Every structure is written in C-alpha cells, then in structure tokens.
C-alpha cells in the first residue's frame, strides 16, 4: 500500500470512528436496552430489583385508556398535519415558482422564518395567540364581528388538538416549501411553454407537469413531516396544553415522558416507546410502498 | 500541502480530546482544609432543588456550615431540575448525602425513592437536642403536629423519613386591598362564597380563576374543603387509595358545592391558562380567588398588578357555618438517602439548617418561612407583609391546618394518581363530565392501585 493510500485510510478512519462510536454508545446500545427494559418492571433509579414481566407491559398498554387516547391523538396528528403541511407548501411554492412575483425572495425568507425559531418559543408565542382573553385569534374574531365563534382554543377538548396541529403546520410549512421549491425550479421550462401553446391553463399545468415532476420530493417531505410531527408534538403538547384538557391533546411522546419521568415507570414507558417506534417504521414503509406502486403504474 | 492539512487535523483532535478530558476532570471536588470537625469523613455531597426561592440562601448556609465545622467541605449541586441531574448519578450508584426536594416532585425521583424505601429513617435526628438550644429536642422545635403527617412519616409507622423545610399554607389566594376597598368580608361557607360571587359579578369580576392547563392546582383548596366537611380520616383515606374514599356521601357533597362554580362563577377562558397566566388574571383583579400556595408572591414578583395589590390567603369554604375551617399546608422537604456515604455529617447538616440563624437567613435571602414552631415570630419584619400575612392564616382562631399528600403508588403500578384525580376538572366544570363519572374514574384507578398492594 502506498503511503498516500495509508494516509487516506487513516483519515477515513479518523472521520468514521468518532461518529460510529457516538452512534453506538448513545443510540444503538440505549435502543437495545430500551427494548429489553420494555419487558421488565424497571423503575427510574434501578433500585428495588428489576424483574422480567414478559409481555405484561404490552398487554396493559392496550387496556390503558390514557394510552389509547394518546395513540388516537398521535394518529390524527400524523395523518392531518403532514397532509395539510405539504399541501400548503405545494401551493405556496407553486405561487412562488410560477407567479413571477417581484418579492419572491422576501416571501421565501418570511415563510422559512418559523422553522428557525426555537420550538419552545413557537409554543409560548402561540399559546398567547390562542389566549382566551388577550389572544390575537379571539381579538380578530371580535374585530370581524364573529364574537360567537370565540372560545378558549387550548382549554376546550374539541379545539385543543386542532390548535396544536395548526401550530405544527405553521411551523413546518416554510421548511418544506424550500425543499419543494428547489425541486420545482429544476423542472424544464419547455414543458410549461409547450403546454401553454397547447392551451393548458395554470391548474392543468400544475396537475400534469409540476406534480409528477416533484412527486419524489413530495413523498420524502411527507415522511420527514411525519417524523417531525411525531417529535415536535411533544414540545407543543407539553407547553401549550400539558396534554389537556383531560388528555384531549395528549400525544404518545408526552405520555412516555409522563410515565417515565413523573411516575418513574421505565419499563412501561419503554414499552410505549418501542410501540411508537414500530408504528412510525410501519407508517414510513407504507408511504414508501405507496410511492413504489404509483411508480409501477 | 495535503500532509500539513492531515497534521493539523491530528493536532486538532489531540487538543480537542485533551480539552475534553481536562473539562471532565475539572468538575471534581474542592481542596479540603485540616479537619477538626469531629467527623471522620469531612466531605458532604448535597443536591438541592433550587426553585422559586433562589440560590443565595443555599450558598450562604453552606458557607456558614463550613465555617462552623472547620475542615468540612460541602459539595453542592443546585438546580431547578435537580432530579434530572442526579437521577443518572443515582442509577450509577453515586448517591448524594443529603437532598432538598421539590414539594411536588415533578421529576418523580422522590416518589420512586419513597416507593422503593430508599430513604433513611431520621427519627433519631428529631429526638436529639436542637442545635444551640438547651433541653429542647428538634421534634419540639418543629410546628406542632407536623411530623405525625404521612408527608413526613410516609409509612404509617410513626417513623420520620422526610424532614420539613418550608411547610406553609396553600389555599385560596386573594387581593386584600380589593376586599378592603369594597368592604367585603371573607366568606366562610360555600353559600357565602357564591353570594360574594354575585356581588363581584356586578363589578365585572369573576369569583374564581384557575390554571386549566395544570388543574391539579385545585388540590390546594379542595383537600382542605373535603377535610372541613368529611374530616381528617376521610382525607387520609383518599390519600392512601382506600375503597369508596371518593364515593363517600360527604366527599360528594363537597364536590357538588364545588361544581356549582360552573354556573358562571369562573373567569371565562380559565381552562386554557397556565399557572402564571391565571395568577396574572387574579393580580389584574379579573377574579377574586385562585387556588394556589404561599410561594405565589415570589413566583409573581415581576408580574404587573393593580395598584395597592397585597396577596392574602383564605381557608377553604365549609358546607355549614358550624364547621371548622381548614387550610392545607405543604412544602419542600429534606431527605437523606439510605445509601448515602456520609449519613452522620448529613444529619448534622440537617440539625444546622433548623438553627435560628438559618431560619432568619432563609427569610432574608428567600422571603421564605421554615417549618419550625417559632419561625413566624423570628421572621416578622424580615419577610414581606404579603408572605407574613399568608403564613399567619395558620394562627387564625377557628382555622386548622391539614397536611395531606398521596401515598406513593406500589411498585409496578402504572397509574398516575394526580392525573386521574385532577385532569377531569376542566371537563367537569364545562359540563362535559358528571360528578358520578369523575368519582367512578377515580375509584376504578384506586382499585387498580390497590390490586398491586
């Protein structure tokens, strides 16, 4: 081996080993440990002995009403939020892409802003926007003479989860807009010109040219948005509603936290974690399968 | 060229790794002076919950302790999230010698320790003489009756495991000035409360507000209200998950009185507020009462308020005129872990914390009051008028104090009792849930808890 090659290999090892070690120590081993813990009655400080309880935690999970509520809420968010987010991003990026707006750059920056703000700040700001007495939403309803629609958005079971979903969409739409817009700008302009000559209007061009061309990026953004929704719903649910009222906006990650960190039940909370992990893996596989089938057609 | 780059990369890695190693070592212990304290092991490791009372008292009391016991070194970790910091240390077998714990244990560590009996029995400390006082045991120095409560003697055998820190009243907080301005008397019964509510409504003021996002704040008022009508035994039954402890006619009567609140007595929108937002509504005179604790003054120190606003505390409403009013008392605690290395020095530190100097220092630096019998006399003029006034409610004639905390749930049980009891309140007050459904839900959770006992 030449000296140059040797140096190259050393450099590659130097680059690979630290991240590999970090992944192993902080990701792989804890994940395996979490999986093992989910079959035990372990508590948070590892005292009082840990005994193997088999599938008991998993059996209990499906009889636990609070878990079922958190699961239902999470599923609703995972379906609704990515769908709306990506639709909004698509529409906005199509406007920016084809609208020939002079201020396009400005809008791009403005739409992207929410995704660089700390999510905690987003949650606090929106909990004030939804504030029942001095919030922007209720004040605007007053201004529009729609006072009968005023409510305490975060304190009512019917609207708490919806308010969190809205905030998630607001926070993420700009981020996916940039990704989709990048894909759109790479579409050959000739297609549009040809379509225009053939008499196709804006909507038909969008459906028959833009959408098929950015289909792949849409699937990727939906998967990203689903994992984002799963993660970020914890912060929003914790800060904006604390899972309430009466668990109406409780999500799986928040319930994992409650069981693990408030109740000290590591075993049970790990069982929910494993379930959540499996569920999100299945969901993203399903989305990818859907994409492949579409491609095959 | 490439070689130099490679070299600088290696150099960078070396520097980075050595800096990391240095940093990791840097958090070690302080150098100890010569040990003349009389304690074999002069190093005390303490973990302190540093919440609304600030850090200053703790830094100074540690310094005073080190001065009083030459050679002793105290290593302190202090943080509002101390539970999260020390849990991994404990899991690795590294226990602190002494802990100051948050009263409501948001990180679950203390609940787990209580459940696993990982706390040292410190009855002997309270039976030993108080520091600096002749012929008085520490037990006699504490607020009377306090140490009998299950908060401090959690296993019902009279042995003390938790030492009281700042046990003080929690209940209905109101603006004294607003009451004086309008010539309103403090109501005693539920009927009088709602009558006052009608009167206040004419000025556009609601009777109550509450943090709907954290509905467990209602415990400050409701535990005392249940005790006033159903008695101390009934509340103890609730705290130890006994069968039909909620499905008890007297408890039900109190809940029915409580739910009358839904008839327009609650500030609209309260169900969507958090604790500071709802406390702000009180301080702007949008509501007459809120259920919270004596810490509210320091917690809201920087919040805007109406002119002349003074915090005051009232006991919970009674069902009838001839009942004794109750006020709930609660606070933070000290514990010594059973696995601690230096329990002797930790016990001495605990005695030291109850000295008059320490009680006054706590008042001066944190505007707080220790749970000792004569603390309120000692701190008069040092703490603010609001805090003094709120603590004085304990000394009012015709008012009894009750200390009640939920027992730790048995090992392996997944029920979170605080959530089961209090989370339905916004639904009950909004009419989405009946009292029967509320009680049934709690009773079935209690049955599940009992099945693990």
Please name which of B82, B60, B145 lies closest in space to residue B332, comparing C-alpha atoms. Answer: B82
Which residues from B are below 8 Å from A268, CB to CB? 414
- Higher-confidence residue of B413 and B57: namely B57
Nearest to B212 among A45, A245, A267 (CB): A245
CB B359 within 8 A of CB B351: no
Please name which of A249, A251, A258, A75 lies closest in space to residue A156, comparing C-alpha atoms. Answer: A249
**For residue B414, what pLDDT is reported?**
86
* Gap from B104 CA to chain A (nearest CA, Å): 10
Instruction: Please answer yes or no on whether B272 and A46 come within 8 Å at the CB atom.
Output: no
What tens digit of pLDDT does each residue of B230-286 get?
Answer: 999 999 999 999 999 999 999 999 999 999 999 999 999 999 998 999 999 999 999
The mean pLDDT value for B115-135 works out to: 90
Nearest to A46 among B91, B213, B416 (CB): B91
- Higher-confidence residue of B88 and A137: namely A137
The mean pLDDT value for A270-278 works out to: 93
Interface test with B, best of A137, A263, A270 (most B CBs within 10 A): A263
* Residue A162 pLDDT > 90: yes
| Residue B430: closest C-alpha in chain A | A156
Which distant-in-sequence residues (6+ apart) come within 8 Å of A24 by Cβ?
none
The tokens describing A237, both together, are: 């649910």
The mean pLDDT value for B130-134 works out to: 86
Q: Is the minimum CB–CB distance between A132 and chain B shorter than 8 Å? A: yes
**For residue B2, what pLDDT is reported?**
52
pLDDT band at residue B13, thresholds of 50, 70 and 90?
low
* Gap from A93 CA to chain B (nearest CA, Å): 35
- Higher-confidence residue of A209 and A45: namely A209
Which distant-in-sequence residues (6+ apart) come within 8 Å of B193 by Cβ?
B187, B207, B317
Fold classification of A64-296 is MetI-like fold (1.10.3720)
Determine the Cα–Cα distance for residues B306 and A168; give it in Å rounded to an integer: 36
Size of chain B, expressed as the number of residues it contains: 453
Instruction: Give all domains of chain B, ordered by start, each with its CATH number.
Output: 43-167+331-373 (3.40.190.10), 168-330+405-451 (3.40.190.10)
* Residue B37 pLDDT > 90: no
The tokens describing B83, both together, are: 């539970």
**For residue B25, what pLDDT is reported?**
44
Chains A, B: CB contacts within 8 A come to: 128
Q: What percent of chain A has pLDDT over 90?
A: 61
Question: What 3-state DSSP class applies to A52?
Answer: strand
- Higher-confidence residue of B299 and A144: namely A144
Instruction: Please answer yes or no on whether A7 and B3 come within 8 Å at the CB atom.
Output: yes
Q: What percent of chain B has pLDDT over 90?
A: 60
**For residue A140, what pLDDT is reported?**
94
Determine the Cα–Cα distance for residues B219 and A112; give it in Å rounded to an integer: 44
* Residue B111 pLDDT > 50: yes
The tokens describing B86, both together, are: 């020390």
Please give the helix or strand (H or E) that residue A50 lies within, else none. Answer: none
Which residues from A are below 8 Å from B268, CB to CB? 132-133, 152
Q: Is the minimum CB–CB distance between A130 and chain B shorter than 8 Å? A: yes
Print burial letters for A186-211: b (CB count within 10 Å at least 16), e (below 16).
ebeeeebeebeeeebeeeebbeebbe
| Residue A132: closest C-alpha in chain B | B269
The mean pLDDT value for A89-117 works out to: 89
The mean pLDDT value for B179-204 works out to: 95
**For residue B27, what pLDDT is reported?**
42
HEC string for chain B: CHHHHHHHHHHHHHHHHHHHHHHHHHCCCCCCCCCCCCCCCCEEEEEEECCCCCCHHHHHHHHHHHHHCCCCEEEEEEECCHHHHHHHHHHCCCCCCEEEECCCCCCCHHHHHHHCCCECCCHHHHHCECCCCCCCEHHHHECCCHHHCCCCCCCCCCCCCCEECCCEEEEEEEEHHHHHHHCCCCCCEHHHHHHHHHHHHCCCCEEEECCCCCHHHHHHHHHHHHHHHHCHHHHHHHHCCCCCCCCCHHHHHHHHHHHHHHCCCECCCHHHCCHHHHHHHHHCCCEEEEEEECCHHHHCCCCCCCCCCCEEEECCCECCCCCCEEEEEECCEEECECCCCCHHHHHHHHHHHCCHHHHHHHHHHHCCCCCECCHHHHHCCCCCHHHHHHHHHHHCCCEEEECCCCCCCCCCCCCCHHHHHHCCHHHHHCCCCCHHHHHHHHHHHHHHHHHCC
Instruction: Please answer yes or no on whether B416 and A263 come within 8 Å at the CB atom.
Output: yes
DSSP annotation of A148 reads: G
**For residue B421, what pLDDT is reported?**
95
What tens digit of pLDDT does each residue of A14-30 get?
Answer: 999 999 999 999 999 98
Instruction: Please answer yes or no on whether B213 and A11 come within 8 Å at the CB atom.
Output: no
| Residue B91: closest C-alpha in chain A | A45
Q: Is the minimum CB–CB distance between A154 and chain B shorter than 8 Å? A: yes
What tens digit of pLDDT does each residue of B272-287 get?
Answer: 998 999 999 999 999 9
Determine the Cα–Cα distance for residues B387 and B375; give it in Å rounded to an integer: 13
Instruction: Please answer yes or no on whether B111 and A268 come within 8 Å at the CB atom.
Output: no
Question: What 3-state DSSP class applies to A265?
Answer: strand
CA distances to B52, B281, B367, B371, B391 from B384, in Å? 15, 22, 7, 17, 11
Which residues from A are below 8 Å from B211, CB to CB? none
**For residue A87, what pLDDT is reported?**
95
* Gap from A293 CA to chain B (nearest CA, Å): 43
Instruction: Please answer yes or no on whether A154 and B213 come within 8 Å at the CB atom.
Output: yes
The mean pLDDT value for B211-226 works out to: 94
Lowest mean pLDDT among A130-144, B159-173, B383-397: B383-397
Instruction: Please answer yes or no on whether A132 and B268 come within 8 Å at the CB atom.
Output: yes
User: How many C-beta atoms lie closer than 10 Å to residue B243's C-beta?
Assistant: 11
Which residues from A are below 8 Å from B438, CB to CB? none
**For residue B7, what pLDDT is reported?**
62
Determine the Cα–Cα distance for residues A13 and B405; give it in Å rounded to an integer: 57
CB A233 within 8 A of CB A160: no
Which residues from A are below 8 Å from B13, CB to CB? 14
Determine the Cα–Cα distance for residues A94 and A218; give it in Å rounded to an integer: 13
B203: left (phi over 0), alpha (psi -120 to 50) or beta: alpha
Determine the Cα–Cα distance for residues A117 and A119; give it in Å rounded to an integer: 6
Q: What are phi and psi of A150, to 5 degrees?
A: -65, 140
**For residue B202, what pLDDT is reported?**
94
* Residue B196 pLDDT > 70: yes
* Gap from B82 CA to chain A (nearest CA, Å): 13
pLDDT band at residue B336, thresholds of 50, 70 and 90?
very high
The mean pLDDT value for A168-187 works out to: 93
CA distances to A51, B223, B289, B314, B324 from B317, in Å? 47, 11, 12, 9, 10
Instruction: Please answer yes or no on whether A44 and B269 come within 8 Å at the CB atom.
Output: no
- Residue-range domain boundaries for chain A: 64-296
Nearest to A44 among B108, B214, B432 (CB): B108
| Residue B86: closest C-alpha in chain A | A45
* Residue A294 pLDDT > 50: yes
Nearest to B213 among A14, A244, A261 (CB): A244
What tens digit of pLDDT does each residue of B347-363 get?
Answer: 999 999 999 999 999 99
pLDDT band at residue B17, thresholds of 50, 70 and 90?
low
| Residue B413: closest C-alpha in chain A | A265
pLDDT band at residue B4, thresholds of 50, 70 and 90?
low
pLDDT band at residue B22, thresholds of 50, 70 and 90?
very low
Instruction: Please answer yes or no on whether A43 and B433 come within 8 Å at the CB atom.
Output: no
Instruction: Please answer yes or no on whether A242 and B214 come within 8 Å at the CB atom.
Output: yes
CB A222 within 8 A of CB A86: yes
- Higher-confidence residue of B302 and A47: namely B302
Mean predicted lDDT score pLDDT of chain A: 90
The mean pLDDT value for A190-196 works out to: 91
**For residue B229, what pLDDT is reported?**
95
Which residues from B are below 8 Å from A156, CB to CB? 271-272, 430
Instruction: Please answer yes or no on whether A66 and B419 come within 8 Å at the CB atom.
Output: yes
Q: Is omega for the bond preceding A276 within 30 degrees of 0, making it cis?
A: no
Which residues from A are below 8 Å from B277, CB to CB? 131
* Gap from A276 CA to chain B (nearest CA, Å): 18
Which residues from A are below 8 Å from B416, CB to CB? 258-259, 262-263
Please name which of A287, A66, A170 lies closest in space to residue B441, comparing C-alpha atoms. Answer: A66
Please name which of B206, B290, B271, B305 lies closest in space to residue B431, comparing C-alpha atoms. Answer: B271
Q: Where are the beta strands (DSSP E) in chain A?
A: none
């Amino acid at each position: 081996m030449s000296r140059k090659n040797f140096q190259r290999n050393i450099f590659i090892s130097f680059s690979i080993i630290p991240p590999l070690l970090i992944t192993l120590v902080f990701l792989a081993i804890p994940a395996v440990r979490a999986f093992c813990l989910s079959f035990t009655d372990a508590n948070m400080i590892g005292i009082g002995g840990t005994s193997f309880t088999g599938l008991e935690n998993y059996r209990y999970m499906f009889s636990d009403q609070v878990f079922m509520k958190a699961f239902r809420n999470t599923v609703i968010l995972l379906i609704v939020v990515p769908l709306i987010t990506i639709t909004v991003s698509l529409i906005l990026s199509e406007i920016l892409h084809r609208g020939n707006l002079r201020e396009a750059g400005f809008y791009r920056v403005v739409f992207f802003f929410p995704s660089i703000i700390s999510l905690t700040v987003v949650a606090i700001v929106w909990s004030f926007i939804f504030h029942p007495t001095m919030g922007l939403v209720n004040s605007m309803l007053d201004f529009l003479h729609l006072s009968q629609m005023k409510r305490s958005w975060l304190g009512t079971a019917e609207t708490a989860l919806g308010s969190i979903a809205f905030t998630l969409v607001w926070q993420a739409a700009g981020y996916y807009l940039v990704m989709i817009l990048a894909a759109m700008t790479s579409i050959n302009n000739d297609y549009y010109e040809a379509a225009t000559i053939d008499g196709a209007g804006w909507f038909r061009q969008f459906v028959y040219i833009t959408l098929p061309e950015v289909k792949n990026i849409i699937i990727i953004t939906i998967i990203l948005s689903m994992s984002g929704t799963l993660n970020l719903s914890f912060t929003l649910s914790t800060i904006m509603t604390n899972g309430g009222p009466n668990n109406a906006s409780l999500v799986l990650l928040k319930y994992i936290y409650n069981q693990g960190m408030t109740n000290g039940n590591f075993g049970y909370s790990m069982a929910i974690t494993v379930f959540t992990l499996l569920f999100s893996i299945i969901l993203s596989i399903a989305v990818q399968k859907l994409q492949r089938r579409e491609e095959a057609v | 060229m490439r070689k130099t780059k490679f070299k600088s990369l290696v150099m960078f890695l070396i520097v980075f790794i050595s800096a990391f190693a240095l940093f990791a070592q840097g958090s070690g212990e302080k150098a100890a002076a010569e040990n003349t304290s009389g304690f074999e092991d002069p190093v005390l490791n303490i973990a302190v919950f540093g919440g609304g009372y600030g850090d200053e008292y703790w830094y100074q009391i540690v310094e005073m302790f080190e001065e009083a016991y030459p050679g002793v070194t105290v290593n302190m970790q202090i943080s509002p999230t101390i539970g999260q910091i020390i849990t991994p240390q404990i899991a690795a077998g590294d226990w602190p010698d002494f802990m100051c714990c948050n009263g409501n244990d948001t990180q679950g560590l203390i609940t787990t320790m209580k459940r696993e009996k990982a706390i040292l029995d410190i009855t002997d400390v309270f039976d030993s003489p108080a520091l600096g006082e002749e012929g008085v045991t520490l037990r006699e120095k504490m607020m009377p009756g306090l140490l009998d409560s299950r908060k401090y003697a959690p296993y019902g055998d009279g042995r003390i495991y938790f030492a009281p820190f700042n046990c003080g009243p929690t209940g209905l907080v109101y603006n004294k000035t607003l009451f004086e301005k309008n010539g309103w008397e403090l109501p005693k019964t539920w009927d009088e409360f709602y009558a006052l509510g009608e009167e206040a409504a004419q000025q556009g003021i609601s009777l109550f507000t509450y943090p709907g996002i954290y509905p467990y704040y209602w415990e400050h008022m409701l535990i005392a209200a249940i005790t006033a009508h159903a008695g101390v035994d009934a509340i103890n039954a609730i705290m130890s998950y006994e069968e039909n402890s909620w499905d008890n006619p007297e408890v039900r009567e109190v809940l029915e009185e409580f739910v009358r609140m839904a008839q327009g007595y609650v500030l609209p929108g309260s169900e969507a507020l958090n604790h500071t937002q709802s406390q702000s509504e009180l301080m702007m005179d949008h509501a007459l009462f809120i259920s919270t604790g004596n810490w509210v003054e320091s917690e809201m120190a920087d919040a805007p308020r109406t002119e002349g606003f003074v915090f005051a505390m009232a006991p919970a409403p009674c069902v009838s005129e001839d009942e004794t009013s109750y006020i709930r008392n609660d606070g933070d605690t000290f514990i010594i872990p059973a696995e601690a290395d230096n329990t002797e020095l930790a016990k001495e530190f605990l005695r030291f914390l109850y000295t008059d100097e320490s009680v006054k220092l706590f008042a001066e630096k944190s505007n707080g009051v220790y749970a000792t019998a004569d603390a309120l006399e000692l701190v008069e003029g040092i703490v603010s008028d609001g805090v003094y006034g709120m603590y004085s409610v304990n000394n009012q004639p015709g008012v009894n104090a009750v200390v009640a905390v939920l027992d730790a749930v048995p090992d392996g049980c997944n029920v979170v009792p605080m959530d089961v009891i209090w989370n339905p309140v916004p639904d009950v007050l909004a009419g989405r849930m009946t009292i029967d459904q509320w009680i049934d839900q709690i009773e079935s959770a209690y049955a599940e808890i009992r099945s693990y006992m």
